[in-house]
Amino acid sequence: MNGVNSFGALMAILFATVILGLYVWSIIWAYGDAEKRGKSGCLVALLVIFLSWPIGLIAWLVFRPDDRRRP
């Protein structure tokens, strides 16, 4: 039975690591995307961090301005 518990713990750690990685990646991506679009990257990163992630990321995806580089 000890092997089963170790496997479960390992899977939980792996899952938590993946979720943490997605969290950090989404903050970095939102910051870069906001800067590229001429908005404050820090404010958007804070939106993603504090607006109950992933809802903050979804809010940025819905309400972000058009890309400034388009003709």
Spans of all domains in the chain: 2-63
Q: Rounded to whole angstroms, how far apart are CA atoms 22 and 60?
A: 16
Quote the tokens at residue 4.
């089963």
Longest pairwise C-alpha distance within the chain:
63
Q: Which residues contact 49 (CB under 8 A, 6 or more apart)?
A: 27, 56
Output the pLDDT for position 2. 63
Three-state SS letters, 21-65? HHHHHHHHHHHHHHHHCCCCHHHHHHHHHHCCCCHHHHHHHHHCC
**pLDDT reported for residue 17:** 96
What pLDDT is recorded for position 66? 76
pLDDT digits (tens, 9 = 90+) for 9-67: 899 999 999 999 999 999 999 999 999 988 899 998 988 888 777 787 888 888 888 77
pLDDT score at 56: 78
